[in-house]
Amino acid sequence: MLSEICLEVTTAAVDFGFCGWLLTILSYFIVFITLPFSACACIKVVQEYERAVVFRLGRLMAGGTRGPGIFFIIPCIDSYRKVDLRVVSFDVPPQEILSKDSVTVAVDAVVYFRISNATISVVNVEDASRSTKLLAQTTLRNILGTRTLAEMLSDREAISLQMQATLDEATDPWGVKVERVEIKDVRLPMQLQRAMAAEAEAARDARARVIAAEGEQNASHALSEAAAVIAESPSAIQLRYLQTLNSISAEKNSTIIFPLPMEIIRSLGLCKYNLL
């Protein structure tokens, strides 16, 4: 709506009144008689990324902004302001915010914006850049105040998109387009950091104990199955005995212990009891 109003103002003919037209004619006459010296003051250059908003006798000139390239002004009665249309970024200072779950955190962000309508940015607001910076601080506090700490840490992208949409809507009457908002850092109090670190360490210890218990349980099941197989087949223990001897002989050991089969131990025990 405001864009349409400004467009109507820039395209409509400007009525300066009798005195205004008299000054305009007089200024043209002075410029004409002082040529070519007055050309230096009349010719202005606007870069590709700039636009010039021209005022004559304090009123917005018809035809919209000037540029890029060369445009002419009448030094005595015209004034102009150049507006940079490139994307500008600024840091939002760390804001002390009380989250929804009553945790105080410090959050900072970065905002990228550009001037989308040079005329509105000059006519409707004194300093569009400064106003956008101040509004970004209050918007950051308002949005994060409705979020819990867990949401701040896990939903940064959603928070950034919400803040970008809110800022873009609020700055549209100023001729500002907010391109992007990024949450840079969420700083927690030291006491809360220590508590969260202790909680994470306890969770890791609990997981390690569960894994160790599962490993022991699996090992006991495997040993039980092996014992059942050996009990069913006595030749299996003999094969295991030979494999053990083979592995021992392959190593460079100065002392070699030969395990005796259970049958020999039992026979020796029986002989001992018979002798007694």
pLDDT of residue 140 exceeding 60:
yes
Closest CA to 103 of 134, 50, 168, 147: 147
Which band of pLDDT confidence, cut at 50, 70 and 90, is reported for residue 10?
Answer: very low
pTM for the full predicted model:
0.64
63 and 104 housed in the same domain: no
Whether 124 contacts 175, CB under 8 Å: yes
70 and 99 housed in the same domain: no
Residue 25 or residue 136, greater confidence: 136
pLDDT of amino acid 181:
93
**What distances in angstroms separate CA 15 from CA 57, 62, 125, one per listed residue?**
11, 10, 24
Domains in the chain: how many in total?
3
157-216: per-residue pLDDT in tens? 999 999 999 999 999 999 999 999 999 888 877 666 566 666 676 777 778 778 877 877
How far apart are alpha carbons 276 and 267 in whole angstroms? 14
115-133: per-residue pLDDT in tens? 999 999 999 998 999 999 9
168 and 241 housed in the same domain: no
How many CA atoms within 13 Å lie on the side-chain side of 107?
27
Angle between helices 156-171 and 128-144 (to 10 degrees): 140
pLDDT of amino acid 192:
61
Question: How many CB atoms are located within 10 Å of the residue 146 CB?
Answer: 11
174: CATH: 3.30.479.30
Residue range of the domain that includes 247: 223-270
Whether 150 contacts 91, CB under 8 Å: no
pLDDT of residue 242 exceeding 50:
yes
Core vs surface per residue 16-52: b (16+ CB within 10 A) or e: beeebeebbeebeeebeeeeeebeeeeebebeeebbb
Average pLDDT, the chain: 79
